[in-house]
Amino acid sequence: MCECNGKYLERHPQSSYKQLFLKGTRIRAEVIYGMLVDGDPPDPTTPEEIAADMNLPVEAVREAIAYCEADPPEVREDQRREREHLQVLGVLDAEGNYIRPPGRLSPEEEDRLGLND
């Protein structure tokens, strides 16, 4: 696991996620990075816009982006675990495609997954 806490990033001790968060928040660095890379071309979102929208220092946004661009193994592991969880819930197929929107499970699905015990 990356021990690359910086000025604006740290582990969140109460989270099951292993990746870094913006200090003092529940915002994962990956969320900030996703806002950058998921922007709509030809006008993708800039770090400055993300910082303004999230009320964060632009340096914190840039640190989160640099962390994610380094492709740390803990981010890949968090993504793998989340993908597997969504597959178990029947939201994703084996290839990672959404097969139904996330949301409340039916009582039958909850029983099948042992969530009503």
- Other beta carbons within 10 angstroms of residue 111's beta carbon come to 12
1, part of any domain: no
Coil, helix or strand for 95? coil
H-type alpha helices, 10-113? 29-37, 47-54, 58-69, 73-88, 107-112
Asked whether 22 and 8 are in contact (CB, 8 A), the reply is yes
Check whether residue 21 and residue 54 sit in a common domain.
yes
20, part of any domain: yes
Q: What is the pTM of this model?
A: 0.74
Check whether residue 35 and residue 45 sit in a common domain.
yes
Helices 47-54, 29-37: axis angle to 10 degrees equals 130
Q: How many structural domains does the chain have?
A: 2
35: domain range? 9-74
55, part of any domain: yes
Check whether residue 16 and residue 69 sit in a common domain.
yes
Determine the residue type at 108.
E
d(CA 26, CA 10): 10
pLDDT at residue 104, rounded to an integer: 65
d(CA 62, CA 48): 9
Q: Taking the chain (117 residues) in consecutive chunks of 10 residues, what is each chunk's mean pLDDT?
A: 72 94 95 86 84 96 96 95 87 82 68 66
pLDDT at residue 3, rounded to an integer: 46
**φ, ψ for residue 19, nearest 5 deg:** -70, 170
Classify residue 45 by burial, with Cβ atoms within 10 Å: 0-12, 13-18, 19+: middle
Coil, helix or strand for 98? strand
